C-alpha cells in the first residue's frame, strides 16, 4: 500500500472530512495573523515593562524585576502573546496537514510530494505560500483522481 493510499484511506475512515483550498487558505492566513499579533503583544508588553522601570538592568542584562501592578500585567500580556503565537503555530500545522490531504487527491502527485517532503524537512512555509497562491484544489470535481482503492478477491 502506497503513501497515497494511506492518506486516501485515512480521510475516508475519519468521516470523509475534506479540507477545501479556501478553508486551508483561511486557516493559514488566520494563523499568520495570530502569530504576528501574538508577537506584537509580547513585544509591546516587554517594551512597556522596560520603559517603565519594571526590569532592573545591569548593562545589557536583566538582573531583577520590580514587583508592581504594571509589571505583573505586562508579564501576563507577554504570556498571552506567547500562547497566541503557539496557537498560530498549531494553525499553521493544521493548514499544512489539510494541504497535504487535499493534494493527495490529485492525479498529478507533484504538489503532494513537494508539500509533504518539504514540510517534513521543516521547509514547509514557502511551499505553503506558493500552494495558497497558485496551487490546485484537490476537492474540485475536475481535479479529482478517478483511482479507487478496492480489494479484489483472488481466484484460484
Would residue 29 count as lying in a domain? yes
Integer Cα distance of 12 and 134 in angstroms:
26
d(CA 136, CA 152): 32
The answer to whether position 118 is within a domain reads yes
- C-alpha 125: how far from its chain's center? 9
For residue 90, tell me if it sits in a domain. yes
Q: Is residue 46 part of a domain?
A: yes
pLDDT digits (tens, 9 = 90+) for 102-119: 888 888 888 889 999 998
Whether the predicted pLDDT of 16 surpasses 80: no
The answer to whether residues 115 and 15 touch, using CB atoms and an 8 Å cutoff, is no
| pTM of structure | 0.74
Residue 113 lies in a domain: yes
Q: What is the pLDDT of residue 8?
A: 61
Q: Does 148 reside within a domain?
A: no
Please report which residue ranges of 53-152 form alpha helices under DSSP H.
69-103, 110-120, 125-134
Stretch (H or E) spanning 55: strand 55-58
Element housing 57 (H / E): strand 55-58
- Give a yes or no: residue 152 inside a domain: no
Query: What are the backbone angles phi and psi of residue 121, rounded to the nearest 5°?
Result: -90, 10
Domain housing 129: 21-134
Percent of the chain surpassing pLDDT 70:
78
The answer to whether residues 26 and 62 touch, using CB atoms and an 8 Å cutoff, is: no
Is residue 60 included in any domain, yes or no? yes
Share of the chain above pLDDT 90, in %: 38
**What does the alpha-carbon distance between residue 7 and residue 101 come to, in Å, rounded to a whole number?**
7
Whether residue 41 is predicted with pLDDT greater than 90 in this model: the reply is yes
Number of domains in the chain: 1
Amino acid at each position: 500500500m502506497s503513501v497515497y493510499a494511506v492518506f486516501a484511506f485515512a480521510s475516508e475512515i475519519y468521516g470523509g472530512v475534506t479540507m477545501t483550498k479556501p478553508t486551508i487558505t483561511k486557516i493559514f492566513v488566520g494563523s499568520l495573523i495570530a502569530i504576528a499579533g501574538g508577537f506584537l503583544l509580547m513585544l509591546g508588553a516587554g517594551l512597556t515593562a522596560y520603559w517603565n522601570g519594571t526590569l532592573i538592568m545591569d548593562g545589557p542584562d536583566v538582573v531583577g524585576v520590580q514587583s508592581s501592578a504594571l509589571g505583573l500585567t505586562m508579564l501576563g500580556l507577554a504570556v498571552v502573546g506567547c500562547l497566541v503565537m503557539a496557537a498560530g503555530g498549531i494553525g499553521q500545522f493544521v493548514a499544512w496537514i489539510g494541504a497535504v490531504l487535499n493534494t493527495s487527491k490529485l492525479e498529478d502527485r507533484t504538489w503532494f510530494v513537494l508539500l509533504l517532503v518539504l514540510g517534513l524537512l521543516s521547509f514547509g512555509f514557502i511551499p505553503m505560500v506558493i500552494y495558497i497562491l497558485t496551487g490546485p484544489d484537490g476537492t474540485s470535481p475536475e481535479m479529482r483522481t478517478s483511482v479507487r482503492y478496492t480489494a479484489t478477491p483472488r481466484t484460484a
